[in-house]
Structure 1
Amino acid sequence: MKRKLTGWGTFLGLAIVIAASCFQKKGALQKTKVPETVSYNFHVRPILSDKCFACHGPDANKREAGLRLDEATAAYAPLKETKGAFALVPGKPEASEVYKRITSTDPAYQMPTPESHLGLLNEQEVAVVKKWIEQGAKYEKHWAFEVPKKAPLPELSNPAWAKNEIDYFIGAKLDEQGLEPNEEASREHLLKRVALDLTGLPPSLDLMDRFLADQSEKAYEKVVDELLKSPAYGEKMAVHWLDVARYADSYGYQDDNIRTQWPWRDWVIHAFNRNLPYDQFLTWQMAGDLLPEGDGSSRTEKMLATGFFRNHKYTEEGGVIPEEYRVEYTLDKTKTYSKGILGLTVECAQCHDHKYDPVSQEDYYRLYAFFNNTTEKGYEGDVGTSKPAKTPVLKISDEEAKTLLRFINKKDTSDLFVSVMEERDTLRKTYILDRGVYDAPSREVSAAPLPAVMPFDTTKYPRNRLGLATWTTSRENPLTARVFVNQLWQEFFGKGLVKSSGDFGMQGDLPSHPELLDWLAVDFMEHGWDMKRLVKQVVLSATYRQSARIDPGKLAADPENTYLARGPRYRLPAEFVRDLVLSSSGLLVPTIGGPSVKPYQPKGLWESATSGRGELKAYKQDHQESLYRRGMYTFIKLTVPPPSMIIFDASNRDQCEVKRLPTNTPLQALVMMNDPTVLEASRVLAQQLMTEASLSEQDKIRQAFRRIVCRSPTERELTILEDYFKEQRELFRQKKLNAQQILSVGEYPSAQVPDQNALAALMQVVTTLYNMEETITKS
């Protein structure tokens, strides 16, 4: 509770604040520890980007006093509004206006100005800037725009710990921080972790038993290879890419009608399972319609891959201006490409020059021009007349699905229609849009990628999406491999080596292990952009295999586990919470692909948020096998995403997302305690165990524990659960709890179990296991 200061309390409080401020300005500056050698990229630029670039950065329209501090030439030049003065004088901080102003206490002179609300630099930031100027005020190209290079492996204090090259970089940083890695995780914990990471499913009892029995040196690697070959691997890997591609099963906006992009989703799963190299994976999705025949893959499949860019929202509302929405769709494609593939916040330059990154408004619309030449329309009719795919459309016949595209899970003989990319016969002119407004064209521009990232040789690359794809996957492109490696690292460790995985620009986070990021990016490209190889490298590392045990000293030194002195520990993504429940109970239907399904959902959600038009005006729940499909196949209506998945932080898929933000709320506990799927799974698993006459009560509980928590229970845990089972059974026998009411949940058929009270009690035990934090946590 906050206390309100009055009288002498107020005076004393102000005195303390003033004294602290004076100490900060006068005394603390000398005591601040700064790096021996100050780097512009890693120490100075983040300060300037936060405090200075808003007024003295790339955006010419917002630049004050004609001063630009993001480029060396401009920063060294004489100041336009202060004769004889220079913003930076290399080697002389006292002669540099930047240093004089950031240390000034005069509100009329100091920088940042009070009215900017950017806040003054703290003593450490001031000390860093001062030392940088003393050392020559040397500028460096932004680290993410430098072509990555493989650094030699660093030396380790304990080289025996390392399993592969990753560990040398991690270990060296741990040595630098005075930290030691954790011991390797127990076999049961490690198996659960890698099974969930590679397939999104818990390990089966058979896999657990085989792994625990295999004492060979290669036991863990053999399990990894087995999981990588599983068809579930492609499903697990696809979920992140569906977030990037903003995949959904409806069009969005008010009249949120059905669309059929799911064959593209089936292709993504197929691409991961066949281990399509990442450069091809990108090229097909960016420009498959422009690729020639050949390389053993059909042009139809490559055309289908371009559905990646067509997953954005579409309007089906009469009275709209078609060109306004066509422009909006093109802007969306530009953002998805720049954020999802290049890791840059380029959309800032839609209306003006970027304030922080070297991306002008002209650069933005030259990039936009690559996506501005399709036959796509802004409006094709309202919800009553439109189709489940928008122009241009790929029609997939039943014959093609059986031959060329056998990975598509097609259930009937009718044709499928998917929205894809297609170029116009004549080039559509692209203009810079004044303030980003669709009907305010100004100067005409031609297609070109971002010059700050890498030059675009028009003799080498055509000015179309295929040229952009070739430029993107060039070995000289500094971003593409880094960004993907970082996203993949994020999938295994909860955050990337660059924490801001969607922003590798000036305002993004610096890499925690820059040499490792670059080494992995180069190694990835050198080995043919092989995604499975990269995944295997990560999960075989000693870094990944560490126990997630938290040591108080390490927690205090590194609370966010930035330096990875312990293994990853975080809750499963939304889809895989559902998958774990279904798989461990035996309910999961492992069919891959096909149309999305509508499992249990609270009544009235769609009806209260719909226009009352179209096929999706009311929620029509599916039945039988469709109730037990993996979470990634749950129907996503953009205006009303699946509630249980959104509560567990799933992307709502209305825009490109490269990172989900985790939350902890009471609603998540309510889902696990009350969701019909969880309760039904508890009943079904209890039924299965009760019908196994050879198992004792204790054995039934032990097996349920192993299937759900993926390890053997301790004796204490087993005793607690046995006591709870007996207590619940007695309450059911005494009719203090209603067994029939509890056992009636869900549509899966009930088994003939003589002792219904024992069945209900065991169901309660299983439900308790599903509600353990450890169950849905990767640790």
Structure 2
Amino acid sequence: MTFSPILRLFVFSCFGFALYSCNPKQSDDIKLSDTEQISYNFHIRPILSDKCFVCHGPDANKRESDLRLDTEAGAYASLKDNPNQFVIKPGNLEESTVYHRIISEDPGELMPPPESNLALNDHEIALIKQWIEQGAKYEPHWAFVKAEKATLPEETDWTINEIDRFALKKMKQVGLQPNPVAEPHELIKRASLDLTGLPPSPELLDRFGDFSGKLSYDDLLDGLLEDPGFGEKMAILWMDISRYSDSYGYQDDNIRTQWPYRDWVIHAFNENMPYDQFVTWQLAGDLLPEANKEQILATAFNRNHKYTEEGGVIDEEYRIEYVLDKTNTVSKGLLGITMECAQCHDHKYDPFSQKEYFQMFAFFNNTPEKGYQGDVSQSKPAKTPILFVDQEDISGIMSFINYADTSQLSISVMGELDEQRPTYILDRGVYDAPTTEVEPSTPSSILEFPADLEKNRLGLAKWITARENPLTARVFVNLMWQEVFGYGIVKSAGDFGMQGDLPTHPELLDWLAVDFIENGWDIKRLMKQILSSATYKQSAVITKKHLNTDPDNLYLSRAPRLRLPAENIQDLVLASSGLLVRKLGGPSVKPYMPEGIWEAATSGRGVLATYIQDQGDKLYRRGLYNFIKLTVPPPKAIIFDSSNRDRCEIGRSRTNTPLQALVMMNDPMILEASRVLAGKMWDENTDEKDAISSSFKRIVCRNMSSEEKSILLSYYKDQLVRFKENPDQVLSTLSVGEFPLEEKNINPETAALMQVIVSLYNLEETITKS
């Protein structure tokens, strides 16, 4: 079957998403020989956690037969009803009751019991058998042990830095070899998207060429890291973590002005603020000695959660809800643990008690924040405690805030009560069921809270950023890895606990975490370290062996193919068309919105009851600055899997739906960008061949092949005939969007070139980092 050039282009556009972005189920891990040492952490605990800990784990309330398998003492204990028999007898299968129960054919004896719908497969039984024979040695959970640098694997001709030595070792273990180096234009596009979220301009592509001239790949990375776009790219992740939005959520979902906090985050990343300081200011900037307004502004991190403005609510109920949110955000976003599971009872899988949950809760329970503040008709853009920022501040210490208005800004920030508010364990986590009083502290299984630290948020920040804390550096390094490779070394980036995924490269993760700390928590250095590696510089070409052995690319034998985040798709379109307004920071903007969606989800009250689209330059800002109303997240962004921002998220899913291709073909912003670029191309080029070639390079970031040139030229000619035969369609086609349409561009040639450019924007390759 043969397709017309137009149909071929359309099919590739619509279905390229699924073709290159699918994530088949990962194949089984490496099988071990009978002589290899079995690890409790990496082989046995995942089995017990999935199949046994529900009834025989940390949760005392759910424990059966008073039997624990999550601790050495519990597993080695004698049976309650028969002291001469043991749960596990290290090195002795015959006297290990567990083994006999998991291989039993008697349904009344078999474990897990058939009614649980859980079962061990032959491979899992063989691992447990081998582990018991080898001594059934228990280990502390890997993520709760202080990270140390392992001995570096051997260096080879392929390796560039330490990352490659660990990556190559794992590749060889699974029978893979690294891919060849990517083409120069691929590396330039990839690095530009990873570090700034923007496509490289044709001028940048030409300036670096094949890296054979004066400018090297190292120079490219240095320039991108210094680009202000770096802070904007990094801020997208941090806005998800800090659950940033421009409204309060709930009911009327009125406006709030937390955007100066976003300006601070961009500023902090661009200034390369050390990560330990970045965390400390956000948790407790107001508690630092002689705290200044910038440090206090950073604490808005804690206040980005939803707020109710509904009349008649119970103040204490919502105040507790806000403190719970702060606790859960810090534990998930900074520590990568699921502490929220212990709000109502002891954690069922991790060694976190309900008492420890409310000891963490106590750090955030001493703010003068209220659950409900006044009459709903008196909605304010910030809630107590409030930081007020005036023009003097913006001209001085907070010059990074982009605000031309002379009115005073107000931001919800943290404050501390003069007298300590008592904190109680809440029965089943219910706000009005206090039981035992607790003091501020942290989970002892992670790291004991030192007696000499302040029992407030500043002490908590010091505990989180301590060299001895096993989680903080690991979690952040893993997040940066996820930003670059699509998956973290720990795939479950928000769960480093016992139910989370095991690290694919544990030694690499620990080496990077320790190296990160030793080098002053330097974020830009870490990113350059990753992007400088041979692992990163590989081609993204996929072979049958890749698909059969490692479809998800967990073992890093190729570069990933990843669709851009929703915000960066908008950025790419605006930047390549020349429409992007590269203004740094400032209030959020309201771009084009489908009619009726906003109003359908509002109460009809408040200043956000009706969507009022912005005009002029505000329409052409980066996606980071789009207004986020919690009850109506931007629909186009949601279609491309952005966070809805109602809670802390540290990773986004990647779906593939026809809606995404339809958005790329019909969205007003994309159509507007296409017709603006078409007009620009006719200004700069003398014929359609050059205009199409120039457009292709700006959008796809490489030169066309001869086949692509033939297809696109044929499509252009088809469209040109269409518009010449239907001149009434020219103006209606070109009138989309609010950017001024010049009289000289109202012609069939511009309309035809516009259709070619729309197709280019809809190509899978355009919005994919590969």
State the TM-score, normalizing by the size of structure 2: 0.95
Structure-1 residue corresponding to 2:28? none
The secondary structure found in structure 1 opposite 2:377 is coil
Structure-2 residue corresponding to 1:233? 230
Structure-2 residue corresponding to 1:13? none
Structure-2 residue corresponding to 1:440? 433
Task: Give the length in aligned residue pairs.
Answer: 740
- The 2-side partners of 1:34 and 1:506 are apart by 26
- The 2-side partners of 1:542 and 1:182 are apart by 10
Pick one of 483, 487, 494 that aligns with 1:495.
487
Letter matched to residue 250 of structure 1: S
Conserved in 1, the CA contact under 8 Å of 2:184 and 2:211? no
Instruction: Say whether 1:732 aligns with 2:729.
Output: no
Structure-2 residue corresponding to 1:64? 64
1:292-323 per-residue CA deviation (whole Å, 9 max, x = no partner) reads: 13xxxx61100000000100000000010010
Letter matched to residue 698 of structure 1: K
Instruction: Say whether 1:77 aligns with 2:69.
Output: no
Conserved in 1, the CA contact under 8 Å of 2:302 and 2:413? yes
Structure-1 residue corresponding to 2:139? 140
Structure-1 residue corresponding to 2:308? 315
The secondary structure found in structure 2 opposite 1:75 is helix
Tell me the CA shift for residue 218 of structure 1.
5.9
Which 4+ stretches in 1 moved above 3 angstroms?
A: 31-35
Pick one of 400, 410, 430 that aligns with 1:407.
400
Structure-1 residue corresponding to 2:121? 122
- The 2-side partners of 1:633 and 1:679 are apart by 20
Tell me the CA shift for residue 756 of structure 1.
0.4
Tell me the CA shift for residue 239 of structure 1.
0.6
Tell me the CA shift for residue 108 of structure 1.
1.2
Structure-1 residue corresponding to 2:385? 392
Pick one of 695, 703, 715 that aligns with 1:712.
703
**Structure 1 unmatched ranges of 5 or more:** 1-30
The secondary structure found in structure 1 opposite 2:463 is helix
Instruction: Say whether 1:698 aligns with 2:697.
Output: no
Pick one of 618, 626, 631 that aligns with 1:634.
626
The secondary structure found in structure 1 opposite 2:424 is strand
- The 2-side partners of 1:566 and 1:237 are apart by 24
Structure-1 residue corresponding to 2:464? 472
- The 2-side partners of 1:34 and 1:606 are apart by 62
The secondary structure found in structure 2 opposite 1:418 is strand
Letter matched to residue 219 of structure 1: S
Tell me the CA shift for residue 85 of structure 1.
2.2
Instruction: Say whether 1:337 aligns with 2:330.
Output: yes
- The 2-side partners of 1:234 and 1:122 are apart by 48
1:448-459 equivalence runs, <5 A: 448-459=441-452
Tell me the CA shift for residue 624 of structure 1.
0.6
Higher mean alpha-carbon deviation, 208-217 vs 303-312, is at 208-217
The secondary structure found in structure 2 opposite 1:725 is helix
Letter matched to residue 170 of structure 1: A
1:21-68 per-residue CA deviation (whole Å, 9 max, x = no partner) reads: xxxxxxxxxx99567110000000000000011111111111110011
- The 1-side partners of 2:287 and 2:534 are apart by 43
Higher mean alpha-carbon deviation, 105-114 vs 273-282, is at 105-114
How much identity, in percent, do the aligned residues show? 62
- The 2-side partners of 1:757 and 1:216 are apart by 42
Conserved in 2, the CA contact under 8 Å of 1:32 and 1:123? no
- The 1-side partners of 2:84 and 2:647 are apart by 50
Structure-2 residue corresponding to 1:764? 755
Letter matched to residue 123 of structure 1: D
Instruction: Say whether 1:565 aligns with 2:562.
Output: no
Instruction: Say whether 1:723 aligns with 2:714.
Output: yes
Conserved in 1, the CA contact under 8 Å of 2:369 and 2:383? yes
The secondary structure found in structure 2 opposite 1:267 is helix
Tell me the CA shift for residue 554 of structure 1.
2.0
Structure-2 residue corresponding to 1:354? 347
- The 2-side partners of 1:696 and 1:627 are apart by 31
- The 1-side partners of 2:82 and 2:630 are apart by 55
- The 2-side partners of 1:242 and 1:580 are apart by 20
1:312-354 per-residue CA deviation (whole Å, 9 max, x = no partner) reads: 0000000100100000000000000000000000100000000
Tell me the CA shift for residue 114 of structure 1.
2.0
Tell me the CA shift for residue 568 of structure 1.
1.5
Tell me the CA shift for residue 404 of structure 1.
1.2
Tell me the CA shift for residue 415 of structure 1.
0.6
Letter matched to residue 739 of structure 1: V
Higher mean alpha-carbon deviation, 513-522 vs 170-179, is at 170-179
Conserved in 2, the CA contact under 8 Å of 1:708 and 1:770? yes
- The 1-side partners of 2:337 and 2:635 are apart by 30
Tell me the CA shift for residue 149 of structure 1.
0.6
The secondary structure found in structure 2 opposite 1:394 is strand
Tell me the CA shift for residue 179 of structure 1.
1.0
- The 2-side partners of 1:659 and 1:345 are apart by 15
Conserved in 2, the CA contact under 8 Å of 1:351 and 1:361? yes
Structure-2 residue corresponding to 1:178? 175
Tell me the CA shift for residue 548 of structure 1.
0.2
The secondary structure found in structure 2 opposite 1:750 is coil
Task: Note closer, same or farther for the CA distance 1:476–1:456 as it changes in structure 2 (3 Å cut).
Answer: same
Conserved in 2, the CA contact under 8 Å of 1:731 and 1:737? no
Conserved in 2, the CA contact under 8 Å of 1:38 and 1:131? yes
Structure-1 residue corresponding to 2:24? none
1:411-463 per-residue CA deviation (whole Å, 9 max, x = no partner) reads: 2111100000111010000000000000000000000011110111112x110
Pick one of 252, 255, 262 that aligns with 2:259.
262
The secondary structure found in structure 2 opposite 1:462 is coil
1:211-253 per-residue CA deviation (whole Å, 9 max, x = no partner) reads: 1064148611101100000011100011101100000000001
Structure-1 residue corresponding to 2:575? 583
Tell me the CA shift for residue 383 of structure 1.
3.2
Tell me the CA shift for residue 386 of structure 1.
2.1
- The 2-side partners of 1:754 and 1:137 are apart by 77
Structure-1 residue corresponding to 2:27? none
The secondary structure found in structure 1 opposite 2:674 is helix
- The 1-side partners of 2:421 and 2:219 are apart by 54
Structure-2 residue corresponding to 1:106? 106
1:213-292 equivalence runs, <5 A: 214-216=211-213, 219-292=216-289
Tell me the CA shift for residue 735 of structure 1.
1.0
Tell me the CA shift for residue 95 of structure 1.
1.6
Structure-2 residue corresponding to 1:160? 157
- The 2-side partners of 1:351 and 1:192 are apart by 48
1:362-399 per-residue CA deviation (whole Å, 9 max, x = no partner) reads: 01110110011111100002431121101100011111
The secondary structure found in structure 2 opposite 1:444 is strand
The secondary structure found in structure 1 opposite 2:58 is coil
Tell me the CA shift for residue 468 of structure 1.
0.4
- The 1-side partners of 2:283 and 2:35 are apart by 43
Pick one of 597, 607, 614 that aligns with 1:605.
597
- The 2-side partners of 1:740 and 1:217 are apart by 47
- The 2-side partners of 1:737 and 1:76 are apart by 84
- The 2-side partners of 1:218 and 1:310 are apart by 45
- The 2-side partners of 1:667 and 1:465 are apart by 45
The secondary structure found in structure 2 opposite 1:95 is coil
Structure-1 residue corresponding to 2:610? 618
Structure-1 residue corresponding to 2:521? 529
- The 1-side partners of 2:768 and 2:504 are apart by 25
- The 1-side partners of 2:536 and 2:637 are apart by 27
- The 2-side partners of 1:595 and 1:487 are apart by 27
Instruction: Say whether 1:373 aligns with 2:366.
Output: yes
Instruction: Say whether 1:672 aligns with 2:664.
Output: yes
The secondary structure found in structure 1 opposite 2:411 is strand
Letter matched to residue 94 of structure 2: E
Instruction: Say whether 1:773 aligns with 2:767.
Output: no
Structure-1 residue corresponding to 2:14? none
Tell me the CA shift for residue 184 of structure 1.
0.6
1:8-87 equivalence runs, <5 A: 36-87=36-87
Letter matched to residue 36 of structure 1: E
CA RMSD of aligned residues (A): 1.3
